[in-house]
Structure formats: structure tokens, C-alpha cells
């Protein structure tokens, strides 16, 4: 028997596919008002924009079987858009090249595509365009089959980021550890105090971005005395783990503290946060105190960690 939840999710994916193919005109007889099919346009694109020339590589990129690829290339060749020849270095390999007419056709397709997508984006505000592109990036990250390098950026908070820190702390700890709203309230007080009272010469915060998306944060604030800094509110989004963000955030925090006159750093955490504790230990922090407590709806063991230099 099919799982009802799975069937619902399949239906939603199919509905999105129908919507988007209609938006981009993929079901039209010709792509972007031309007489080229989507497959033909992709071949011209790969040959011109991506520099793909070997038949086997082209088939791999487009997921085409040998028979379909042969028929498609024959059509483009008969229209004078490309040539096929044997590789000089390996006669078993076939090399493809666009003709001048083929390059003209690709340039025309490229400009028509830019115009079409530009017209689509013009319907939305800048904010909605950003939302659309973030959603597309999320889909690409989840279902893309090509490995790509991720870009990590650490930056100061911008307007809206502090609210995100509160919301994501509350959501992540509720989901992963069952903590209740009192933890989110604590985070809100810490963030509000930072926003209203922090000394930029002695305190700082960082937002980590992964491929342009907010993916983590950390705060460096005054500790129990003038020589001690305090690390607070380290989080990394579940989907961004494995990229070393936690380590980079802690390192950034330590670098700031050392450059601004501190000689030690402390932090408070709980024993259940094993991944964070491992990051602290690798950075050189040592566990100096622990105590049982009941907070955030859970029985916990709180821990104080300290690093001196």
C-alpha cells in the first residue's frame, strides 16, 4: 500500500513541475519563441557556453542514450548548426563543433532566454526576487547531481539578522533537544542586551553564510571580568553542518578576543550538545565546572568551559 504522506508529497512535486514547465515554456513547440526543442537548445548551449565538445561527455551531461543523441545531433547537423568528426588523438571518440550558423543560433537563444527570464523577474519586487532565488538555490543544493564548491562567508549582523538568531535558536533547540520556549526567551534577552548595550571595541557578533544563505552565528561579549571574553549563542543550521562552520565561528570569536585585549574566554553549554563540545575541546577549551539543573523543560547538566592564552 502506498504511503499517504508520500503520495501527497509526490503530488506536490508534480504540481510544481507542471507550474514551472508552463512558466518557462518548456511544453511549447519551440523554446522561447523559436523552432528549437528544449533538448536541441541544451545541446547548443553546452557546445557554445560550456565548451563541451566530446560526444560521450555531452551525453553524460544531458542524460541522453546513444540512439536519441544520434538522432538529435543528426537533425542539428542537417540544419548546418554543427559538425561531427573523429578525434585526432583517439579515433574512437567523436568531437562536435558548432558552425558559424550554430553559434548565431545559440546567441539568439541566449538573448531570448535572458529577455524571457528578465520579464518574469520584473513582475516581482527585489525582496520577492531574493526569495525566489533562495528557493531555487535550496532546490539545487538538495537535488543537484553535480558536486560544487560551497562558499562560506562570515560577516557582521545586518538588519533582521538578530531576529533570525532568536528564531533559529528557538526552533533548532526545540526540534533537536525538546527545549521549550523559555530557552528562546533567554536568547531574546541576550540578543536584546547585545543590540542595545554592546561595546563595538570589546564585543562582536558574526553571521555565517553558506552559498548566500544564513547558516550559523556566534557572539563574543564581555565575560566575568575585564580580561575574560564570553562566547555565546553558537549555532549552525542542520543543513549546513559538515562544512566546518562551527569551527570557523569559534576561531573568529577567539581571534577577535585576542586582538581586543582579552587573555581568556569562557562559555556555558550543556552536556547534551556533543557536537559543540567537541568543537570547543579541539579549540583548546577545558571543562572547568559542571552542575545539574532543570531548565528549558529538561533535566540538564550545565558546563563551564575556559581557555586562557
| Better-predicted residue by pLDDT, 143 or 58 | 58
What does the pLDDT look like over 152-176, one tens digit per residue?
Answer: 889 999 999 999 999 999 999 999 9
Handedness of CA 12, 14, 15, 16 (dihedral sign): positive
Sheet hosting strand 298-308, strand order edge to edge: 152-155, 204-210, 213-222, 228-236, 264-270, 298-308, 286-295
For 32-41, 112-121, 280-289, which range has the lowest pLDDT when averaged over its residues?
32-41
What is the CATH architecture assignment of 4-123?
Answer: Orthogonal Bundle (1.10)
* Domain range summary for the chain, segments of one domain joined by +: 4-123, 153-308
What is the CATH architecture assignment of 153-308?
Answer: 3-Layer(aba) Sandwich (3.40)
Q: Is the pLDDT of residue 179 over 70?
A: yes
Q: Dig out the grid coordinates for 161 from the structure.
A: 539578522
pLDDT at position 223: 94
DSSP letter for 238, please.
Answer: G
Q: Is the pLDDT of residue 148 over 60?
A: no
DSSP assignment string, 18-63: HHHHHHHTTTSSSGGGSS--HHHHHHHHHHHTS---BHHHHHHHHT
Q: Is the pLDDT of residue 79 over 60?
A: yes
pLDDT at position 12: 85
What does the pLDDT look like over 251-296, one tens digit per residue?
Answer: 999 999 999 999 999 999 999 999 999 999 999 999 999 999 999 9
- Other C-beta atoms closer than 10 Å to the C-beta of 48 total 17
For 13-22, 163-172, 174-183, which range has the lowest pLDDT when averaged over its residues?
13-22
Integer Cα distance of 167 and 119 in angstroms: 35
pLDDT tier at 53 (50, 70, 90 boundaries)? confident
pLDDT at position 147: 42
- Other C-beta atoms closer than 10 Å to the C-beta of 190 total 17
Q: Give yes or no on whether 4-123 and 153-308 have one common fold.
A: no
| Better-predicted residue by pLDDT, 145 or 301 | 301
pLDDT at position 50: 60
Q: Dig out the grid coordinates for 246 from the structure.
A: 562551527
pLDDT tier at 197 (50, 70, 90 boundaries)? very high
CB 291 within 8 A of CB 248: no
Q: What is the mean pLDDT of residues 96-110?
A: 89
Amino acid at each position: 500500500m502506498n504511503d499517504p504522506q508520500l503520495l501527497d508529497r509526490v503530488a506536490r512535486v508534480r504540481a510544481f513541475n507542471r507550474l514551472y514547465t508552463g512558466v518557462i515554456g518548456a511544453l511549447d513547440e519551440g523554446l522561447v519563441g523559436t523552432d528549437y526543442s528544449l533538448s536541441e537548445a541544451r545541446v547548443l548551449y553546452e557546445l557554445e557556453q560550456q565548451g563541451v565538445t566530446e560526444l560521450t561527455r555531452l551525453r553524460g551531461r544531458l542524460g541522453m542514450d546513444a540512439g536519441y543523441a544520434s538522432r538529435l545531433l543528426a537533425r542539428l547537423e542537417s540544419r548546418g548548426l554543427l559538425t561531427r568528426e573523429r578525434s585526432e588523438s583517439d579515433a574512437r571518440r567523436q568531437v562536435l563543433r558548432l558552425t558559424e550558423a550554430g553559434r548565431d543560433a545559440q546567441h539568439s537563444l541566449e538573448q531570448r532566454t535572458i529577455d524571457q527570464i528578465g520579464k518574469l523577474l520584473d513582475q516581482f519586487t527585489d525582496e520577492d526576487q531574493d526569495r525566489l532565488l533562495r528557493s531555487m538555490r535550496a532546490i539545487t543544493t538538495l537535488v543537484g547531481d553535480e558536486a560544487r564548491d560551497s562558499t562560506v562567508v562570515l560577516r557582521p549582523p545586518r538588519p533582521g539578522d538578530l531576529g533570525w538568531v532568536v528564531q533559529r535558536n528557538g526552533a533548532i533547540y526545540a526540534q533537536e533537544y525538546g527545549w521549550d520556549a523559555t530557552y528562546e526567551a533567554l536568547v531574546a534577552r541576550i540578543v536584546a542586551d547585545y543590540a542595545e548595550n554592546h561595546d563595538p571595541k570589546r564585543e562582536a557578533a558574526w553571521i555565517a553564510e553558506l552559498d548566500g544563505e544564513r547558516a550559523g552565528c556566534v557572539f563574543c561579549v564581555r565575560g566575568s571580568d575585564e580580561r575574560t571574553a564570553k562566547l555565546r549563542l553558537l549555532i549552525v543550521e542542520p543543513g549546513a553542518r559538515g562544512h566546518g562552520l562551527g569551527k570557523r565561528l569559534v576561531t573568529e570569536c577567539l581571534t577577535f578576543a585576542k586582538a581586543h585585549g582579552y587573555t581568556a574566554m569562557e562559555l556555558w553549554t550543556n552536556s547534551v550538545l556533543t557536537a559543540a563540545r567537541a568543537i570547543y575541546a579541539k579549540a583548546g577549551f577545558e571543562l572547568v565546572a559542571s552542575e545539574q539543573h532543570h531548565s528549558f523543560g529538561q533535566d540538564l547538566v550545565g558546563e563551564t568551559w575556559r581557555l586562557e592564552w
